[in-house]
């Protein structure tokens, strides 16, 4: 029984990694500029660049994924851009 559970836990790791990669890919490669979606079309280039830096969108894709996955492992889901509260708090409500 312990061997069965151990094997299941070992196979869970690549499955979770694959799900994380697919989820990140869908979120990252969705068409459009997220800074325009957040700030609106009237935002200046400087405002958009400032938000892009604050969100870490100016970094490479690999670094963005590692930061995102690291946050998931720490149960740090970030800050809700619309509610202005931590996502974990919004989920609890």
CA-CA distance, 8 to 12, in Å (whole number)?
A: 6
- What is the tens place of the pLDDT at every residue in 44-93? 999 999 999 998 999 999 999 999 889 888 988 888 877 888 888 888 88
Whole-prediction pTM: 0.72
**Residue 26, pLDDT score:** 93
Mind spelling out the 3-state secondary structure of 40-79? Answer: CCCCCHHHHHHHHHHHCCCCCHHHHHHHHHHHHHCCCCCE
**Residue 19, pLDDT score:** 94
- What is the tens place of the pLDDT at every residue in 21-43? 999 999 888 898 888 988 889 99
**Residue 61, pLDDT score:** 93
């Amino acid at each position: 029984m312990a061997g069965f559970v151990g094997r299941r836990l070992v196979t869970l790791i690549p499955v979770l990694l694959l799900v994380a990669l697919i989820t990140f890919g869908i979120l990252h490669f969705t068409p459009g500029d997220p800074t325009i979606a957040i700030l609106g079309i009237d935002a200046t280039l400087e405002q958009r660049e400032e938000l892009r830096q604050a969100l870490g969108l100016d970094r490479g894709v690999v670094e963005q994924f590692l930061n995102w996955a690291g946050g998931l492992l720490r149960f740090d889901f970030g800050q809700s851009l619309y509610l202005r509260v931590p996502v974990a708090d919004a989920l609890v409500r």
